[in-house]
Amino acid sequence: MQLIYIHGLNSDANSTKGQMLQDWCQANRPEIKVLRPDLNLPPQQVMALLEQAIAKDAHTGVVGSSLGGFYATACVAKFGVRAVLVNPSVRPFERFKRFFANGETEHTTDTGWHVTPSQLDDLKNLFRPVPPQPDKLLVLLKQGDEALDYREAESYFSQDHAQSALIIEPGGDHFMHDMDPKIPLMINFLFDR
C-alpha cells in the first residue's frame, strides 16, 4: 500500500502536512508507504510522475492539498484511485492568470516552478466540469480558508449526481492546522473500505 501526498503551490516534498502523514503512518500503519514527491514542475510532468508512482502499487491512495487537491482529482479521473482533498483548488488555471496580468511571459514560484501561460492550458485540460468518480473523493474544507473560497469547492464537489463526501468546518485556515486528528479518518477512507 502506498499514499502519495501531493503538495500545493509554493510547497515542496518537505511539506509539513506530508510529513504529518508520513509520521502518522510510520507510527500507526507501517504497511503504508508514504511518498512525498517534489512536484514544482509543469503540469504534464507532474501527471507523468504521479502516473509512474501509481503504476508501482495497485493499492494507492492520494492526499492533495490546495493545487495538490486539483492534481489529486485528476488522478481519480485518470487512474481511479481514492483521494482526500484538503482545501483543494478547483480551477487553478483561472487563479494563476494573475501571474500574467501585466504581460509577463513567466512566473517563478517561491519553490522554483517556472509557470508559463501555456501551462495554464495544460491545467485546464486536466479539469472535468463534473467531479470524476465522486464516491472516491473525500473533501475537507475550512470556511476560514484565507487563500481559496471554500464555497467554490463545496459547489463543485456537491453537484447533482456527482456528490462527494464533504466535511466543512467553520473557522480554520488554508493550511488546515488541525489536520493531524483527521488523519485516521483520511487513512480509513483511502485504505479501509
pLDDT digits (tens, 9 = 90+) for 107-142: 999 999 999 999 999 999 999 999 989 999 999 999
pLDDT (average), residues 43-50: 98
Percent of residues, the chain, with pLDDT higher than 90? 96
For residue 107, the model assigns a pLDDT of 93
For residue 192, the model assigns a pLDDT of 87
- The overall pTM is greater than 0.95: yes
pLDDT digits (tens, 9 = 90+) for 142-193: 999 999 999 999 999 999 989 999 999 999 999 999 999 999 999 999 998 6
Scored b (16 or more CB within 10 A) or e, 121-147 reads ebbeebbeeebeebebbbbbbbeebee
Query: Are β-strands 60-65 and 114-115 bridged in parallel, bridged antiparallel, or unpaired?
Result: unpaired
For residue 103, the model assigns a pLDDT of 87
Query: How far apart are the C-alpha atoms of 42 and 48, rounded to whole Å?
Result: 10
pLDDT band at 73 (very low <50, low <70, confident <90, very high): very high
For residue 25, the model assigns a pLDDT of 98
Cell of 35: 511518498
**Partners of 172 in the beta sheet?**
none
pLDDT (average), residues 16-23: 97
For residue 117, the model assigns a pLDDT of 94
Best CA proximity match to 28, nearest among 183, 190, 193 = 183
